[in-house]
């Protein structure tokens, strides 16, 4: 299959590499020194999103935010104007569900297939091809995209029509963000109360309070190792989508709004490029020194 891949960041690079390793012809845009290995592995670097669209039958986007996706799709030398007849666009970015429905409508009106398929699992999941993928689009688009997504992920769910994949991802990010805060508060209490937080975490593993966040991020909090798997700044962007959706729907999501503020405080303190487990630093900065 001829696949275009646009968005060669921390997540996109290993995802594109899996597609190349699976034997697909992969066309890439904006190859930088960090992604040069993809060309060495067999990928083809092209000069614009339009060139990628003209070369590929399936185009995958893995971009930071809603405006980036809109520009790549509909901007100057964008994907939309150069798609092959009946092409499939798979947006694996995490962006606005409202905007996604608009983008899907335009792509489908031009005779192409659309699937929003945001992912969870972070850099580790991207590297091991173990991502969780939440898809929104027609059943036909999902079926067409499934063989490609199976190269990238383990748990793949068709949620519903276009936009529903992004809604599911926003829900995921709410749960992840609030669970990180819960673990941070628990380990902070343990430390401030004089208990060994590592022992407290060990005692909770396997019990009703156990979670991937407690396992992975709890260990990072204790070790104070915050190299990013997923940056606070990007997580705040996703939580901002949840806050915006709640406002539009007249929903009260008080703890979601609160974690958005905590992330804003972390960014204000200069921690925006740290892993989101570093929210423990922000939380502890509100309290007295141990």
Residues catalogued as catalytic: 169
Contacts of 170 (CB under 8 A, 6+ apart): 94, 97, 238, 241, 242, 245
Long-range pairs, 129-135, Cβ under 8 A, ≥24: 129/18, 129/153, 129/154, 130/154, 131/15, 132/156, 132/157, 132/172, 133/92, 133/157, 134/159, 134/164, 134/165, 134/168, 134/169, 134/172, 135/159, 135/164, 135/165
Rg value, the chain, Cα: 20
Main-chain phi, psi angles of 39, to 5 degrees? -70, -40
**With contact defined as beta carbons under 8 Å apart, do 160 and 144 qualify?**
no
Judge whether 57 and 88 are in contact, CB under 8 Å: yes
| Alpha-carbon 158 to chain mean position | 17
DSSP H or E stretch at residue 110: none
């Amino acid at each position: 299959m001829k696949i275009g891949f646009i968005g060669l960041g921390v997540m996109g690079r290993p995802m594109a590499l899996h597609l190349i390793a699976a034997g697909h012809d992969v066309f890439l845009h904006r190859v930088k020194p960090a992604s040069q290995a993809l060309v060495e592995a067999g990928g083809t670097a092209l000069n614009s999103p339009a060139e990628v669209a003209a070369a590929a039958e399936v185009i995958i986007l893995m971009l930071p935010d809603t405006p980036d996706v809109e520009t790549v799709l509909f901007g100057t030398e964008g994907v939309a104007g150069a798609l092959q007849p009946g092409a499939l666009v798979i947006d694996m970015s995490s962006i606005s569900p409202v905007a996604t429905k608009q983008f899907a409508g335009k792509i489908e009106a031009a005779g192409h297939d659309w699937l929003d398929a945001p992912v969870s699992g972070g850099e580790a999941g991207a590297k091991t091809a173990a991502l969780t993928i939440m898809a929104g689009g027609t059943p036909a688009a999902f079926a067409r995209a499934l063989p490609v997504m199976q190269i990238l992920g383990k748990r793949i769910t068709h949620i519903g029509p276009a936009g529903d994949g992004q809604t599911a991802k926003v829900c995921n990010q709410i749960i992840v963000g609030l669970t990180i805060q819960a673990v941070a508060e628990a380990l902070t209490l343990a430390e401030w109360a004089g208990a060994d937080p590592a022992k407290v975490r060990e005692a909770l593993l396997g019990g009703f309070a156990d979670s991937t966040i407690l396992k992975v991020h709890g260990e990072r909090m204790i070790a104070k190792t915050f190299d990013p798997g997923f940056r606070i700044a990007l997580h705040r962007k996703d939580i901002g989508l949840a806050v915006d959706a709640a406002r539009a729907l007249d929903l009260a999501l008080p703890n979601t709004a609160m974690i958005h503020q905590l992330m804003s405080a972390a960014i204000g303190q200069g921690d925006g490029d740290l892993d989101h487990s570093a929210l423990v630093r922000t939380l502890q900065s509100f309290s007295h020194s141990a």
